[in-house]
């Protein structure tokens, strides 16, 4: 279920701007009127009488992200050992709890991707 969060910015105690953020949901934000009330959708956020109808551009949108597809040729419990390019070291590559591949080499720590992971992912 999508959620609408409101942030308020005040200057010297006077409200200057409200921004809205929608988390989840599969459709981008829109506003609508229903039975005399105004809503931000998705999420059914009801605007109170003193709230202006926001511009769509002022509503941040963080869509629902489906879980990653499982990697076809990867055993999620296995630790893969991959030789470094010089061949003098071995790095351990494995799947973390979110389903992403992680490596212990310095390149991965820096770039979140490396040759060792690519080697493991190769069919
Ligand atoms: Zn690596």
| Residues surrounding ion ligand 1 at CB below 5 Å | 91, 103, 105, 108, 114, 116
SS3 58: helix
**What are 42's two structure tokens?**
């998705």
Range(s) of the domain holding residue 108? 80-121
What is the rounded CA–CA span in Å between residue 2 and residue 55?
Answer: 19
Residues 46 and 87 in one domain: no
Residues 19 and 54 in one domain: yes
Residues 52 and 93 in one domain: no
- Evaluate the CA torsion angle 13, 16, 21, 38 in order and state its sign: positive
Q: What pLDDT score does 5 carry?
A: 92
Write out pLDDT tens, residues 69-89: 667 778 888 999 999 988 899
Q: Are 16 and 23 in contact (CB under 8 A)?
A: no
For residue 30, the CA-to-ligand 1 centroid distance in Å is 43
Write out pLDDT tens, residues 23-72: 988 889 999 999 999 999 999 999 998 888 888 888 999 988 776 666 77
């Amino acid at each position: 279920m999508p959620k609408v969060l409101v942030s308020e910015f005040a200057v010297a105690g006077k409200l200057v701007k409200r921004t809205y953020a929608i988390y989840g949901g599969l459709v981008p934000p829109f506003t609508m009127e229903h039975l005399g009330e105004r809503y931000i959708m998705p999420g059914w956020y009801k605007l109170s009488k003193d709230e202006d109808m926001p511009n769509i551009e002022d509503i941040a949108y963080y869509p629902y992200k489906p879980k990653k597809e499982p990697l076809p040729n990867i055993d999620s419990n296995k630790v893969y050992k991959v030789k470094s390019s010089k061949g003098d070291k071995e790095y351990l590559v494995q799947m973390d709890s979110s389903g992403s591949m992680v490596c212990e080499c310095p390149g991965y720590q820096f770039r979140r991707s490396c040759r060792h992971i690519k080697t493991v992912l190769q069919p």
